[in-house]
Chains A and B, each alone.
Chain A
Amino acid sequence: MNHNYQKDISGCGLTGLISRKRRRISGSEIVKSLCLMTDRGNGLGAGYAAYGIYPEFKDFYAFHIMYDEPSVKRSVEEYLKANYHIEKIEEIPTRAVKAIPISPMLVRYFVSPLKEKLSGDQQETDFVVNTVMKVNSEIDGAYIFSSGKNMGAFKGVGNPSEIAEFFRIDEYEGYIWTAHTRFPTNTPGWWGGAHPFTLLDWSIVHNGEISSYGINKRYLEMYGYKLTLLTDTEVAAYLLDLLIRRHGLSIPVACLALASPFWKNIDQRDAGEKEVLTALRQTYGSALLNGPFSILFGHSNGLVGINDRIKLRPLVAAVKDDVTYMASEESAIRAICPQPEKVWAPRAGEPVIVNLED
């Protein structure tokens, strides 16, 4: 595959929504919201992630895999069959779209790890992460781009409307949605490089540029993560997995590690708070995301929006009934929710954390 695309100037747009009452909302809503910001991207990447879309397979990991060619598919399936119970294999349903003449093969698998393959006290989730890293780094031309339960990512090279049409996004219903239109700046516009980036239940869409990528990448590699998707946003997805799932940080604390206050602000806090924030920055210095960003991340229990510490990228939030919306532009929210009860611009570095009700 040739990844040698021209460099272009910056943009990117993102949007997301969550029904706190787990009401499943049609994908056509998020498509409408994203399409309003089509011009923030340049047609070199768009994608969607949704939670609650596979209720009939909710206990299985849903692997969405892209293959460059059939021989690669055979090697991956051999590996999966040796290590997983496979409940179902199917092509990811697509429609023919004129603007997308070429696409990788797209297949999804509903799987659960074979018990006897877990070594000692190994967690299922660690086993799945290892599989994703192994396939993405060792099997050339195969990428597991979604691996969570009852959720899935759909992404590729195209405009928001084309990718939505291609993946038949309107046919899915989810209680959390995130979506992204891409304007690649420093890295290639290819199918694996479109957002969302996911690992297990974590999914992330990002507008901006993570200039700490090198530090973050080396830090993640120490914990066995392999960075294979040729773009900065990938580190954010794996950092969430490391900090929240493996190290057990709460979401607000993880946000303080990823977008921690400046030292001069830490110095102004009370003694106790100062101590905690100092410890956090010292421990997770290599996890700090530097550079401009607005990010939405979905997980099995909710949706989080966060900006960099000096707000170099836009983020607007709104609430109506049981739904919270977050997007790069207020008009993208109003496209699907004309009269929100409340609209606000979150302050720099202060996350908007919305959890599903039990």
Chain B
Amino acid sequence: MVEINASGTYYKELNQKVREAVEKGEKEIVLKNVNGQYYIGDGLRGSSTIVIEGVPGNDLAAFMDGPTLRIKSNAQDNISNTMNSGKVIVEGNAGDVLGYGMRGGKLHIRGDVGYRVGIHMKGNKKQTPTIVVGGTAGDFFGEYMAGGVLILLGLDSTGPLVGDYLGTGMHGGTIFVRGEVDKKLCGAEVGILDLDDDDQKVLKDALTDYCKDFGLKLEDIMKKGFKKLIPVSSRPYGNLYAY
């Protein structure tokens, strides 16, 4: 285990130190006194675990490919942009535009998230990017979603579970919402359905891992029912540029 004191360190220098530690093969790296440093974990490969104490700056874990980041407090905007594999765990709340174009790996947030979470998420036969939000979410949750799994739990929340424009423009992937979903908040192409057995399995697998990260009990979460949101239009623009 190696500790790096980030207090007053400019992001460039901090990220250089992290990179060097990962290249040396350090399996656990603890960043102390982080506050606002951008780009932590960006483009990072390997299988190290990096624990972040303090609020990291924007653009955390962009293009990340392998490592695990655990943030012990709140986190800011633009986490896991186009992330390919690995995991980001946020113990507090996180900001806007999380998991933009995410193509693999996991993003687990214990608290609330802001606007535009999981937009343009995509998956393929081998990779299913997964975001689990423990609290509430703002507008444009899963907007233009093309693949992957987005789960919203609304645990111990007081405010509205989710904002407007839910899944607007969605054409792939699945959103699971714990509780009821107001059709008025959804894009026209979104269908609200009950879960089948396959869905239950996907959901339980994802939540088992989520519960492990935060010391929660799966059965407590499953006490309340879920709805599944999927695109119901069949590629409406599929032939637009096809001759």
Chain A residues within CB distance 8 Å of chain B: 36-37, 39, 310-311, 314, 316, 329-332, 334-335, 343, 345, 347-348
| A330/B76 in contact, CB under 8 A | yes
Which of B36, B138, B140, B163 lies in contact with A37, CB distance below 8 A?
B36
| B76/A329 in contact, CB under 8 A | yes
| B58/A329 in contact, CB under 8 A | yes
Residue of B nearest to A307 (CB): B115
| B138/A348 in contact, CB under 8 A | yes
| B114/A335 in contact, CB under 8 A | no
| B36/A311 in contact, CB under 8 A | no
Rounded to whole angstroms, the CA-CA distance of A332 and B35 in the bound complex is 8
B187 adjacent to chain A (CB < 8 Å)? no
3 A-B pairs with least C-beta separation: A331-B36, A311-B115, A331-B35
| B115/A335 in contact, CB under 8 A | no
| A311/B35 in contact, CB under 8 A | no
Rounded to whole angstroms, the CA-CA distance of A316 and B112 in the bound complex is 13
| B96/A311 in contact, CB under 8 A | yes
Residue of B nearest to A265 (CB): B164
| A331/B55 in contact, CB under 8 A | yes
Residues of A contacting B: mostly:
loop
| B139/A334 in contact, CB under 8 A | no
Within 8 A of A (CB), among B167-223: none
Residue of B nearest to A262 (CB): B164
Q: Given the complex, which residues of A lie within 8 Å of B74, measured CB to CB?
A: 330, 343
Residue of B nearest to A38 (CB): B10
Given A335-B35, A335-B36, A348-B115: A329 touches B138 (CB 8 Å cut-off): no
| A347/B138 in contact, CB under 8 A | yes
Q: Given the complex, which residues of A lie within 8 Å of B105, measured CB to CB?
A: none
Q: Given the complex, which residues of A lie within 8 Å of B112, measured CB to CB?
A: 345
Q: Given the complex, which residues of B lie within 8 Å of A348, measured CB to CB?
A: 115, 138-139
Rounded to whole angstroms, the CA-CA distance of A348 and B163 in the bound complex is 10
Rounded to whole angstroms, the CA-CA distance of A316 and B54 in the bound complex is 16
Rounded to whole angstroms, the CA-CA distance of A215 and B112 in the bound complex is 37
| A314/B36 in contact, CB under 8 A | no
- Indicate with 1 or 0, residue by residue over B133-171, a CB within 8 angstroms of chain A CB atoms: 000001110000000000000000000000100000000
Task: Output the least CB separation between A280 and chain B (Å).
Answer: 21
25 example contacts (A-B, Cβ-Cβ < 8 A) are as follows: A36-B36, A39-B11, A39-B38, A310-B140, A311-B96, A311-B114, A311-B115, A314-B76, A314-B77, A316-B95, A329-B36, A329-B58, A329-B77, A330-B74, A330-B95, A331-B35, A331-B36, A331-B57, A334-B55, A335-B35, A345-B112, A345-B114, A345-B138, A347-B138, A347-B163
